Structure 1
Amino acid sequence: MSICVAVRAGLLSALMAAAWAGVQPEEALARKQPSAARSEQAQTGQAHPAPRKQTDSGKDAATSASHFTIGLVTGSPQSTEFAVAQDIATTLSTGQETGPRGEMALRVLPMVGNGGSRNVQDVLTLANADMTIAPVVLVDRLRDAKTFGDIRNKLVYVAPMLPQDFHLIVRPEITSLADLAGKTINLGEEGSAGAVLGLEVLNALDVKFDAANLGLDAALDGMRKGQISAAVLLSAKPVEALARYAQFNAVRLLPIPMTAAMRRDYQPSTLRHEDYPTILGVDETVDTIAVKSALFAYNWPSRSDRYRLLELFVQTFFSRFSELLGDAHHPKWRELNLAEPLPGWKRFAPAERWLAQQAGRDKPDRSSQPRSTTGASPDRGAFDEFLRRREQDRKQER
């Protein structure tokens, strides 16, 4: 009896806190779930994704904070992936028509994550999380292991994103992988892509080490103090946080060899002076490995508001892609081909249609980037159509 009373008291406290904060009770309770999952993973001490396998129930969009906001879950604020999300958000926010009540037609909200399995879990469960940037190999393994149930029809991809490079950052006295034997190496936060894939890579290279699971800032500080000998960083090059740190602290970048077993999931990459001028000499290069990444989205029902909003995002993002190729944005945007397919995954249908239409308009050069049809966002008619179809669907539901 006392247990029931305690449970009721806890639920009452959560509902009262939700009311005080001005959110719906269902949303407040839903928000508690990821924290609980993180606590459970922290207690297990596992670097591999360790959430329980889940059933195939869909997620509810009723608690979405805004009918005009797309939630994009990305990496830590120090990562290139977060900078890329910011590029998308700021570019798409300019030059838009507003709705009948002054609302912005489309707002992209970057959401800080760890770049790993929890990002995928958030997209599968949180009403406000529509998309994530994640390494393809990691999402492939979550799908094949059915960590979150059968997600083959729950996730679709919008477009490939920047490859994520492995950076093995070491103290100056470390000159080879053999020097890392018995040393402490930071892999990144538990459950992050760096922690999961970094552990896999170092094990494949037969490096015997003690693992730490800290954020990048804390890991670099530990290296400065001599408490940590190396850190694995998985992020698209160049990583500004690493470049800034190297201006004032001596570090090295250690090569990561490509073994035969890695070729199925990884691709070769090279870190150059142009990427890290404060670490590498003019003619110095460091061979490493990289993984493909992609922009994954929740596969909302085709007549839902969230589906319509994702469709509007695709039209806006693809048509204004050329604006991301300028000097004000990350240089790796210029190497990205939005039309590149992602084997084993279905592309979001409106994205597939947009690319097919562009291919029909520009047949002489199919290998080129999807061209920008207008240098501005979709016209007011696209937004009006979005509102009209949403209202029509609501009337039919009543």
Structure 2
Amino acid sequence: MRAGLFIALIAAAWLGGGQVQEALAQTQPSASPGESRKASPRKESAPRKETRRSADPFTVGFVTGTPQCTEFAIARDIATTLASGQETGPHGEVALRVVPIVGNGGVRGVLDVLTLAGADVAIAPVILVDRLRDAKTFGDISDKLAYIAPLHVEEFHLLARPEIARLTDLAGKRVNLGEDGSAGAVLGREVLNRLGIKISESNLGPEAALDGLRKGDLSAALLVSGKPVSFLTQVSQLDGIHLLPIPYFKELLQQDYLPSTLRHQDYPNIIAAEASVDTIAIKSALFAYNWPIGSERYRLLELFVQTLFTRFPEFLGDVHHPKWREVNLAALLPGWRRFRPAERWLQQQSGGEAALRKAFGRFLEGKPTAKPPDREELFQDFLRWRERNPAK
């Protein structure tokens, strides 16, 4: 019975993902420039989060992109680093484990965090999550998701065959934008629409797309991921494949996209010395399911945040991906509320807690019944009240 229920729940989540893919990742050729500049996903009924008890209450489920992308490497960095130096629990269990869950780096990852009991956090493009929230594709998700911290930017890598010299050469050609619902499929289509380039769209994974380029079945293939993407070391100038520039047209892209550059040091196997390739990029962030305060999963994520933030300097070394050096944990994400334990940790580091304690001490002055132990207990109650009432 339990197995059957579990399978049914998983099937329901996947079916929900299919509906979203229909709405956000249609497979028609890119639209003309006169069409809407933004994706207009169809509204779906709000998904329900599975709340069954986790088989391992010490494990954080981390949804990320495909194994070929940088975002998966970031999740792996977190998993391996936080696993080291961990004390064990009373029965020998690991106190905190992070398990990467393979997604497509797009809509499906967001849906997984919103629905699956074992999915707690995800790396996702901010623009894509904004689209889902504003269109209410999954209902009102403003209170269901919170961000832990903004992360790095993800660059657009447009690989092309030798006969393709500029973006306009792709008109009418077969171009792979990535799997349905991925950031490349949703946002790549949007960018091409804005630039008025109509293509014949393909939706293959990275390995199949690279094979299609080599065989001539595809004229170009898009990969949206933080540079340098280790998967692209498989590409050689001997293949005749090169990175195609994506010009940054300010009037068309400024609101949602950033200008960026790919350089020889990023991809010495594709870009010649002293050369560079202009492209565009998007911001990414680490989002979390906003579990109820005091719940088992909330406490687990609180431990995850405290451990990740405390050990953040370890990720800045050469053994980890260079994208870590772009991360500013204290940066804000407009339009979203930060996960409460993350906000509290940052306040404590910046002297926020010291200021609160000073103000609280002045409040209790002249109250002789408040002994020191009572004061500390009252202060902790006060902090918990602020978590429940963040606007006050």
Category of TM-score, reference length = shorter chain:
0.7 to 0.9
Partner amino acid, structure 2, of 1:209: I
Q: Normalization by structure 2: what TM-score? A: 0.83
User: Aligned residues: percent identity?
Assistant: 59
What RMSD, in angstroms, separates the aligned Cα atoms of the two structures? 2.1
Of the structure 1 ranges 66-75 and 32-41, higher mean CA displacement relative to structure 2 is found in 32-41
Contact 1:49 1:117 in 2 (8 A): no
Contact 1:26 1:63 in 2 (8 A): no
Shift of 1:297: 0.3
Please name the residue that 2:200 is paired with. 210
Distance 1:51 1:303 in 2: 35
Distance 1:270 1:66, change over 3 A: same
Partner amino acid, structure 2, of 1:294: A
Distance 1:102 1:122, change over 3 A: same
Please name the residue that 2:283 is paired with. 292
Please name the residue that 1:225 is paired with. 215
Distance 1:289 1:37, change over 3 A: same
Show CA shifts across 1:316-360 (max 9, x none): 000011111111110111121111000000000110111111112
Contact 2:20 2:107 in 1 (8 A): no
Counterpart of 2:5 (choices 5, 13, 26) is 26
Shift of 1:254: 1.1
Please name the residue that 1:84 is paired with. 74
Aligned residues: 341
Distance 1:130 1:34, change over 3 A: same
Partner amino acid, structure 2, of 1:35: W
Counterpart of 1:301 (choices 292, 307, 317) is 292
Shift of 1:27: 2.3
Distance 2:256 2:208 in 1: 29
Counterpart of 1:186 (choices 161, 176, 194) is 176
Of the structure 1 ranges 58-67 and 105-114, higher mean CA displacement relative to structure 2 is found in 58-67
Shift of 1:244: 2.1
Residues 1:278 and 2:258 are matched in the alignment: no
Partner amino acid, structure 1, of 2:318: D
Distance 2:21 2:293 in 1: 37
Distance 1:49 1:131, change over 3 A: farther
Residues 1:175 and 2:165 are matched in the alignment: yes
Distance 1:334 1:361 in 2: 25
Distance 1:49 1:113, change over 3 A: farther
Counterpart of 2:109 (choices 119, 122, 128) is 119
Distance 1:76 1:58 in 2: 25
Query: Residues 49-60 of structure 1 correspond to what in structure 2 (within 5 A)?
Result: 53-55=44-46, 58-60=48-50
Distance 1:311 1:332, change over 3 A: same
Q: Normalization by structure 1: what TM-score? A: 0.82
Query: Residues 113-152 of structure 1 correspond to what in structure 2 (within 5 A)?
Result: 113-152=103-142
Contact 2:158 2:243 in 1 (8 A): yes
Shift of 1:361: 8.8
Please list every run of 5 or more consecutive structure 2 residues that lacks an aligned counterpart in the other structure: 28-38, 355-392
Show CA shifts across 1:45-71 (max 9, x none): 72569675123x752321423111100
Shift of 1:146: 0.3
Of the structure 1 ranges 25-34 and 96-105, higher mean CA displacement relative to structure 2 is found in 25-34
